């Protein structure tokens, strides 16, 4: 969606990074690199979510379906362009 937002802002003469700050979601580096300036993005930590889900599934397979439900929280991380540059 962020690519479309950038395009609509551009048509209206609004420059991201100067006139308005944009925060994207899902930290998809390939798409973010198409936008100038690249917006900050929220990393949803999908790998951690998947890892915890698999751990819970394996636990339930071992201990039975009647086990109590569990709430697992994974905090998102705000990634700025300079943060992404250090990760590469």
Assess contact for 41 and 32: CB atoms under 8 A: yes
Percent of the chain residues topping a pLDDT of 90: 48
Q: Is 59 helix (H, G, I), strand (E, B) or coil?
A: helix
What is the C-alpha to C-alpha distance for residues 78 and 39, in angstroms, rounded to an integer? 11
Tell me the mean pLDDT in the region 9-33.
92
DSSP 2-19: HHHHHHHHHHTT--BTTT
**44-53 pLDDT, tens digit each:** 999 999 999 9
């Amino acid at each position: 969606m962020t690519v479309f937002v950038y395009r609509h802002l551009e048509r209206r003469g609004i420059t991201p990074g100067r006139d308005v700050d944009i925060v994207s979601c899902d930290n998809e580096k390939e798409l973010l690199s198409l936008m100038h300036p690249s917006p900050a993005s929220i990393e949803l930590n999908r790998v951690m979510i998947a890892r915890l889900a698999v751990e819970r599934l394996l636990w339930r397979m071992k201990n039975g379906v009647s086990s109590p439900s569990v709430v697992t929280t994974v905090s998102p991380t705000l990634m700025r362009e300079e943060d992404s540059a250090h990760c590469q």
